[in-house]
Chains A and B, each alone.
Chain A
Amino acid sequence: MAANKEAVVILLDVGPGMNDGEEDGPTSLQQAKACIGMILQRRIFSESKDEFALVLLGTQETANNLADTESGEYCHITVARNLKQADWKLLQFVQDIEVSMVSADFVDGIVIGMDVLMHQTQGQKFAGQRLLLFSNFSSEYSPDQVDIIISGIKKTGMELNVIGPTSLGSGNKEDEDSREDQNQNHLHDQKPKTTQQLAGEALLQRILDETNGEAYSFSEALPALTNYQKKNIQSAGWNSPLEIAGNLRIPVTGYIKASEFKLKSWKTACAQRPEVKVLRETTYHMNDEAQTEVPKQDTIPAYRYGTTLVPFSEEDKVNMEYKTGDKGLKVLGFTKQDYVRQHWLLGDKTMYIVGKKDQQSAQVALSAFIRALYETSMVAIVRYAYSARSSPRIGFLSPRIKPGYECLVFIQLPFMEDLRRFIFAPLDLNKKNIPTADQLKAVDELIDSMDLTTANVGEDGAREEALKAQEVVNPYIQRLYQLVLAPLSDVLGPQEEVLQDETHDVACTKVQTK
């Protein structure tokens, strides 16, 4: 769905103040670049449709729609790139940015950002519009337009996020009438903030408060961005009826909860000429001396019945094959949870089934069954037809009730044909294989010493479970992404040359950040 993408304007302060930083630590600009780099990488790997524009605050030059050289308004602000999906060029460009000698008004920057969003999203569908401001607020600003900004953000539904050396609200500014939490972040070993910075932060805090925006520090933002983000899979709902006895039909929606994330398949190219596509063609041949080719239209499909070949035309298929009928879930009956054995679970996904959105009665009816099953430790055995054209499967619906939501969990079960019955001898058939008491004790010690439930030490020193699925990333995917990243600078070459070939990115080439 096109409407799932977001439009993001990155506002990056490159003024001289961004050279500040913790002692011996990275400068604010370096930290900001690292964050932006991570954000872009994640979008590239997740093949997100989100579009990004880049606005630099504090450039020698000025390149934006609102600049008025006479009054000096909106000067030293450059729209370095218009809204477009994240790519390597933008990533490289950001990495090559350096601190400039001039500073710009970050309030002006926000206005430019809003202008970019307003004009460049026209005629397109975006699910959201966002401004990401990276600054440490060391430069001068004029607060004149703040009210207009606030009402503008509110009116357009944009969101403003601010990322800086510390969360907003740190530092000592009792005299401000902002609502920030006074207690946080006093511990940070930061250079004391200037009055300028404090005032700037206070101003932004007011904007954020009024527009429900959020602020993060670099140290909060970076860890969250470090692992390459999972591919942005929009779980499109599967709408269908849940049928009990044909005439009790509850409209429900299924969402995939768990399914193996597969890397994009490897494509093939000519080794000598990588830009050339590799094509494949299948031909059919007689089993004679000349291997006579038979055109596809002169062939007929057939199936083996043991050694016998049985022609089965497309027409036979249409007339004789099984017809699935309507899509949806049909309850065949209910059974004890214990009768559904874990080792039978089949299929490649787990789906959550909820009552259809905005349909109160459907949700209530489903809820009644969720609770009935939950309280009786039962599950429903269902026929699952994804569509009228796909073969039906058997599965079960198991109740799940959490504080925020309730649903039925759908997992596929096998057919008789899917089971393989093998016999395995009991392990104690041969008496020499029966473990001794000492051996069992040794295993017990092993279990105790390798207990994963307390293997991690959390930030507060408490013992935590290790290897939780939510926290373990797929090493293969991480490895591949790193490989893709590794040759970044080699592949791209000098930045100007690269950027010139993009007409709409002409602005980029003009930027002199030094």
Chain B
Amino acid sequence: MDGNWRDPDEDEEEEESEASNDIQTGRDSLIFLIDVTEGMFVKSEETGNIPFYLSIKCLKTTLENKIISSEKDLIGVIFFGSEKDKNPNEFKHIYVFQDLDQPGRERILEVEELLDDDIKTFKDKFGHSNNFSLSDALWTCSTVFSNCKTNLSHKRVLLFTNTDNPHAENKQLQQQAKIRAKDLFDLGIEIDLLHIKKPGVSFDITEFYQDIVYLSEDEQYEKVPASEKIEELLARVRIKDHKKRSLGRLTLNLGKHVELAVNVFNLVRAATKPYAVKLAKSNNAELRNMTKTYAGDNGEILMPSDMKKYQEYGGRKIFMEIDEVNQIKHFDDPGLVLMGFKPKSSLKLHHHIRAGQFVYPDEKSISGSTRLFSSLLQRCLEREKVIICRYIPRKNTPPRLVALVPQKEEKDEVGVQDIPPGFQLVFLPFSEDLRKLNLESKQEPSELLVDKAKEIVKKLKFRYHPENFDNPAIQKHWRNIEALALDRDKPDDMEDHTMPDQEAIENRAGKLIEDFKTLFPGGLQEETSGKRKQGASTGGAAKRAKSEELVNVDIKHEAEAGQLGRLTVNVLKEFCKKHGIKAGTKKADIIDAISNFFGIG
């Protein structure tokens, strides 16, 4: 925020903010480089999909997702293999459809229009040609990136095509494209391939594209097969449309100067609804907010150096300078320090206090890290051990104990990585974080009852994966905003995946649930509200009677001692009633009234 300094109370929260930890300052940028030759417009008999429209749907989804998750990222769209051309270098058959910019209303509408057009309209507008040069297309990407006025930290091209061997007849063009791809990589531009399957033909990446794809080392990956389904393609785009950002680079110290470098990542973090900005009602212009900090007595504006921090315990305030507060939080340099090993079984599910993180070696900072990391991972997996470490994520952050849990790589059905290889970082509680509960709840349900419950469980069994549940509050919010932004009549319909499918449950287990309930002839419901009300009223009467007795407390004495606050409202009210003191309903008001009655200030 311009013009204001940091909220002085905010610094207390230890929540990781990636922005504060991220040294890179630029923005993520992404170019969709889409093949628009005629081959991309052939409908698959099998799936009914048209490869070009699959690509555009991916683009639209990515634009929408970016708006939700990272609206500052820049996206551009370039067609290659069109008849017409529009590009800064005046290459033939290259068409910059959308220059690199933040996504927004106009861009989405443009893309929607593309989707609404039929194949013929596209041909009329852009045309098709096989006389393009992929080298030119790549060079155009590079130009678009370098013409961008914004400081870019990460540049990536996603290339959509269904032809595994372009320029098959022209080895020279192929060679140029390969050299160009390497040039781009040297300029810090990564190129990734989103290959779409042609019906009946396999996409052979070794024909040509393996020399075009350039990714940074820790993302290099064995090739996945070409997709023909929108879901698969979208899943692949989702993984690739953003930069992998680490929370920070740390050392893992094993003792005796043995250190390896690791990167720590957040792979799961609760997404939230965005904050609102303020507009002027008069003209819908965005307003800037400014925060003033001032002294409560004379209104004098305070600068950070005019303020002190304090903690208050037992009525005593302990003042500290802001620097001193940081010093108290400082224990050691950031990093992970080995404390020892424990069996994996020593971890307790019910000790969960915070979402975990993920640890992966960083070969760049200390070479050999990957090998040592790999040794630890292998042996811990084999021996079912976890590594207990002291973890200081950042400077001036107090330490926590964590367990590094070894994790094997797992892939999904289509070969896309589902679970990466590395250590999960699990936060362990301190004794302050655990509560003693005196639960005395143990029953001996009949075997019949347990069996019925088992049957219900069996009938309602499904395979859980978090990808299948979206957040209805966030989805609804964005659908509303989207509808308003794009002048839709009403927001898109939304299925609420957090609500049980009542009908399906009824069909599958309705009878069993009824059976289960009949085993409780008295019912399972709480007492009816009618009953409770009755109970409450008698309780009230009892209370009144009791408080009458208690008015014998020396109210005057308590008032003089300023101790009226210790008494219950009932007692105070009773006293007022007895002495005809008029008072409000709030405790503070009643106390004031009684104090006045005794003539105490």
Looking at the complex, which of B41-49, B145-153, B398-406, B530-538 is the stretch in contact with chain A? B398-406
User: For chain A residues 249-280, which have a beta carbon within 8 Å of chain B?
Assistant: 249-251, 255-274, 276-280
Q: Which residues of chain A come closer than 8 Å to B422, judged between CB atoms?
A: 424, 427
Q: Which residue of B lies closest to A119 (CB)?
A: B553
- CB of A342 closer than 8 Å to a CB of B: yes
Q: How far is the CA of A256 from the CA of B500 in the complex (A)?
A: 25
Looking at the complex, which of A106-114, A165-173, A239-247 is the stretch in contact with chain B? A239-247
Q: How far is the CA of A504 from the CA of B484 in the complex (A)?
A: 65
Q: Which residues of chain A come closer than 8 Å to B238, judged between CB atoms?
A: 421
Q: How far is the CA of A426 from the CA of B358 in the complex (A)?
A: 15
User: Separation in Å of the A492 CB from the closest CB of chain B?
Assistant: 9
Q: Which residue of A lies closest to B266 (CB)?
A: A420
Q: How far is the CA of A157 from the CA of B451 in the complex (A)?
A: 45
Whether B372 lies near A419 (C-beta < 8 A) is: no
Interface SS, A side? mixed
Whether A334 lies near B471 (C-beta < 8 A) is: no
User: Which among A248, A271, A332, A336 is the interface contact of B308 at CB below 8 angstroms?
Assistant: A271
Chain B 392-430: CB-based contact to A (< 8 A → 1; otherwise 0): 000000110100010101000000010111101010111
Q: Which residue of B lies closest to A432 (CB)?
A: B371
Whether B480 lies near A504 (C-beta < 8 A) is: no
Q: Which residue of B lies closest to A256 (CB)?
A: B435
- 25 interchain pairs, CB-CB under 8 A: A230-B432, A244-B456, A245-B509, A245-B513, A255-B439, A269-B317, A270-B295, A285-B289, A298-B281, A302-B279, A303-B274, A309-B279, A324-B473, A332-B500, A342-B426, A349-B353, A350-B351, A352-B350, A407-B441, A419-B466, A420-B268, A422-B267, A447-B341, A469-B428, A469-B430
User: For chain B residues 322-346, which have a beta carbon within 8 Å of chain A?
Assistant: 325, 328-329, 331, 338-343, 346
Q: Which residue of A lies closest to B15 (CB)?
A: A348
User: Which among B294, B317, B435, B442 is the interface contact of A278 at CB below 8 angstroms?
Assistant: B294
User: Which among A88, A305, A316, A473 is the interface contact of B67 at CB below 8 angstroms?
Assistant: A305
Given contacts A299-B280, A344-B268, contact A474 B398 (CB under 8 A): yes
Q: Which residue of B lies closest to A297 (CB)?
A: B281
- CB of B302 closer than 8 Å to a CB of A: yes
Interface SS, B side? mixed
User: Separation in Å of the B83 CB from the closest CB of chain A?
Assistant: 31
Q: How far is the CA of A259 from the CA of B432 in the complex (A)?
A: 9
User: For chain B residues 474-515, which have a beta carbon within 8 Å of chain A?
Assistant: 474-477, 480-482, 484-485, 491, 498-502, 505-506, 509-510, 513
Besides the known contacts A257-B437, A424-B360, A425-B220, 18 further A-B residue pairs in the complex with CB atoms under 8 A apart: A87-B316, A245-B506, A245-B513, A258-B350, A267-B310, A267-B312, A269-B317, A270-B306, A272-B306, A278-B295, A287-B288, A294-B287, A364-B520, A413-B466, A415-B470, A417-B474, A419-B466, A422-B420
Given contacts A260-B353, A406-B442, contact A282 B526 (CB under 8 A): no
User: For chain B residues 203-245, which have a beta carbon within 8 Å of chain A?
Assistant: 217-222, 235, 238-240, 244
Q: How far is the CA of A504 from the CA of B565 in the complex (A)?
A: 14
Whether A364 lies near B445 (C-beta < 8 A) is: yes
Whether B433 lies near A260 (C-beta < 8 A) is: yes
Q: Which residues of chain B come closer than 8 Å to A246, judged between CB atoms?
A: 500, 502, 505
Number of interface residues of A (CB under 8 A): 192
User: Which among A303, A331, A404 is the interface contact of B442 at CB below 8 angstroms?
Assistant: A404
Q: Which residues of chain B come closer than 8 Å to A45, judged between CB atoms?
A: 313-314
User: Separation in Å of the A86 CB from the closest CB of chain B?
Assistant: 6
- CB of B440 closer than 8 Å to a CB of A: yes
Q: How far is the CA of A301 from the CA of B274 in the complex (A)?
A: 12
Q: Which residues of chain A come closer than 8 Å to B567, judged between CB atoms?
A: 123-124
Q: Which residues of chain A come closer than 8 Å to B309, judged between CB atoms?
A: 266-269
Given contacts A266-B310, A269-B308, contact A312 B480 (CB under 8 A): yes
Given contacts A269-B307, A423-B420, contact A312 B439 (CB under 8 A): no
